[in-house]
Copies of this chain bind each other. A is one copy, B any other.
Amino acid sequence: LLAGAAPRAGQEQSTSDLDREAVGWGFDPPVMKLAVTMAAPSADDNGSDVGRLLRELKLGHDLHNVSVDFGVLRTLSEVLRAGDWHVTATVVSTRFESTLGSRQSRGLRRPKLIRVEPGDTTGCHCILALDIGTTSVWGQLIHIPKRTVIATASDYNGQISFGEDVITRIVHAERAGGLEELQKAVVRTVNKVVADLLEQTGMDRGCISAVSAAGNTTMTHLLLGLPPRYIRAAPYVLTTSLFPPVKARSLGLDLEDSVSVYAFPAVASYVGGDIVAGVLGAGFYRHKDLTLYMDLGTNGEVVLGGSDWMVSASCSAGPALEGGGVRCGVRASPGAIDAFALDGDTREPRIRTMGEHKPIGICGVGLIEMIAELLGHGILEANGKFDAQRGGARVREGEDGVEYLLVAARDSATGDDIVLTERDIENIVRSKAAMYAGVMTLLDSVSLDIGDIQRIIVAGALGNYLDIEKCKQVGLFPDVPREVFSYIGNGSLLGARLVALSNELLDDAERIAKMITNIELSDHPGFYDNYLSAMFLPHTDMKQFPHVAVKLGRG
């Protein structure tokens, strides 16, 4: 399983206190467990078993018009008698059940009885929140009565063996049996994550009452077994942007029969439920402030707006910011170089590795730090080329062209030199340029400017460990004051767990998906210019980076 590095001081996730969040939004969990004591049958009472139970839910719990899942009926008579008429009813009370309807369906919220257990099991009641990432799957158990996260686990998405990126997987899904393979692979991963969560907590599997899942559009399609074929080509058509609840067992998830998977709705082919969940978690859709939401990841999505409107774009940033496509790039894991500085006098590098292990390579955070620092010292130029003179002996000709020697083979855990090549830098510049150009294009599309941005919310596991100043220095983030920025960590997982506590937020998910207008960057006339301008460090137009310019002495 993935190891997580400690967040930088002051950049801890501001959202770990679910209780506070829940109070803020109103605690009203979509899936409830209710202890019910009902009347035993008698000759005077013409009612059926389920009739008496529903009557008790009405009189004792003010739940009216409850529908009943057929699965409940199969065992109901025995369960009621096994509990001697003291039972626990699991009731889903969510508009998610009517997720595919129009706005009119909002009036149709109708509780549904999905499970009845003997005795009082109200303490055994968790929601599994999932972030189904292209690379990693994260899971958290939310204990509903305690309103708290009781465990977190993650693993690489088993689909990686069929291709690292979304497009490769869509292509694989088009082959005979390919969709089933991919669906099974991610389900295996989720089952492993669940096993880990249960082991951590000692909870019984039966205590998972529902699953809330956020993922990009392709990941959601593949999890649910929907063919993703038409996502990848213009006009980028989704089968559906709203997903009805699906029985977990029917997908192969090792959970109770009664458990359904509630998947976040998608905005468009490349702006999926993960972004909707992130926007939900970030909360800015409820405020007027012009907010920029940046999700740093392989896809690299950005959302701009507030409570009146939102536009989004998918930047196809590529994996470089996560260490992918970089010669000595590694994921954030023990031994990854995640901090870099040059000695003021000797210009010799000082590095830090995660867990203080011997270095195995450079992770995304480390790559940004290196580029920023080398740039600051003039060893790297604005065009992404090394200045051989300033770089000294460490800048040399390597296999892939010019490179900077960071760790010599004798000091590395791999037994090879750890280097940063000009080609690596090119890849990273392409990634950051794509993100930045996405931001600029969104601003252009609504005729606004960087100066109008009032808040920037950075999401993505990477985000928590980034140094804002260094991100500005390389041109990944806009050059605005530090206090404009905040971090929310894994936004997708945050949103997935918040809806477990609040029907209001669950409703908001659909509202957000419908509210966001997606901009296809490749169709937008200004995007390519924005992209080319951002292919420098930090940018060709230094007027956009006034404070960085001063710092780099290019003011």
Complex: chain B residue closest to A246, CB-CB = B70
Are A46 and B517 interface neighbours, CB within 8 A? yes
Are A73 and B105 interface neighbours, CB within 8 A? no
B-contact 0/1 string along A63-87, CB 8 Å cutoff? 0111111100111111000000000
Q: Please name all residues of chain B whose beta carbon is closer than 8 Å to the beta carbon of A246 when the two chains form the complex.
A: 70
**Max chain B C-beta neighbours (<10 A), residue from A49, A65, A224, A518:** A65
Are B42 and A240 interface neighbours, CB within 8 A? no
A331 at the interface (CB under 8 A from B): no
Are A240 and B46 interface neighbours, CB within 8 A? no
A49 to chain B, nearest CB (A): 5
A389 at the interface (CB under 8 A from B): no
Are A70 and B230 interface neighbours, CB within 8 A? no
A1 at the interface (CB under 8 A from B): no
Query: CA–CA, A245 to B68, complex, Å?
Result: 11
Instruction: Identify which of residues 462-510 in chain A touch chain B, using a CB-to-CB cut-off of 8 Å.
Output: none
- Contact (A65, B244) CB under 8 Å given A226-B74, A235-B45: no
Query: CA–CA, A100 to B50, complex, Å?
Result: 9
Are B64 and A240 interface neighbours, CB within 8 A? no
- Contact (A67, B101) CB under 8 Å given A46-B518, A227-B74: yes
Are A230 and B49 interface neighbours, CB within 8 A? yes
Are B43 and A523 interface neighbours, CB within 8 A? yes
Complex: chain B residue closest to A51, CB-CB = B241
A514 to chain B, nearest CB (A): 10
Query: CA–CA, A48 to B269, complex, Å?
Result: 9
* Total contacting residues, chain A, CB less than 8 A: 54
A141 to chain B, nearest CB (A): 25
A448 at the interface (CB under 8 A from B): no
Are A65 and B105 interface neighbours, CB within 8 A? yes
A409 at the interface (CB under 8 A from B): no
Q: Please name all residues of chain B whose beta carbon is closer than 8 Å to the beta carbon of A226 when the two chains form the complex.
A: 73-74
Q: Please name all residues of chain B whose beta carbon is closer than 8 Å to the beta carbon of A42 when the two chains form the complex.
A: 235
A268 to chain B, nearest CB (A): 7
Query: CA–CA, A226 to B226, complex, Å?
Result: 32
A374 to chain B, nearest CB (A): 42
A502 to chain B, nearest CB (A): 23
Q: Please name all residues of chain B whose beta carbon is closer than 8 Å to the beta carbon of A240 when the two chains form the complex.
A: 48-51, 68, 73, 76
B-contact 0/1 string along A229-240, CB 8 Å cutoff? 110001101111
Are B49 and A101 interface neighbours, CB within 8 A? no
Are A43 and B235 interface neighbours, CB within 8 A? yes
Q: Please name all residues of chain B whose beta carbon is closer than 8 Å to the beta carbon of A68 when the two chains form the complex.
A: 100, 240, 244
Query: CA–CA, A48 to B56, complex, Å?
Result: 42
A114 to chain B, nearest CB (A): 12
Complex: chain B residue closest to A66, CB-CB = B101
Q: Please name all residues of chain B whose beta carbon is closer than 8 Å to the beta carbon of A178 when the two chains form the complex.
A: none
A60 at the interface (CB under 8 A from B): no
Q: Please name all residues of chain B whose beta carbon is closer than 8 Å to the beta carbon of A235 when the two chains form the complex.
A: 41-43, 45
A447 at the interface (CB under 8 A from B): no
B-contact 0/1 string along A89-105, CB 8 Å cutoff? 00000000010111011
A391 at the interface (CB under 8 A from B): no
Q: Which residues of A contact B (CB under 8 A)?
A: 41-43, 45-46, 48-51, 54, 58, 64-70, 73-78, 98, 100-102, 104-105, 108, 110, 224-227, 229-230, 234-235, 237-241, 243-246, 268, 517-518, 520, 523
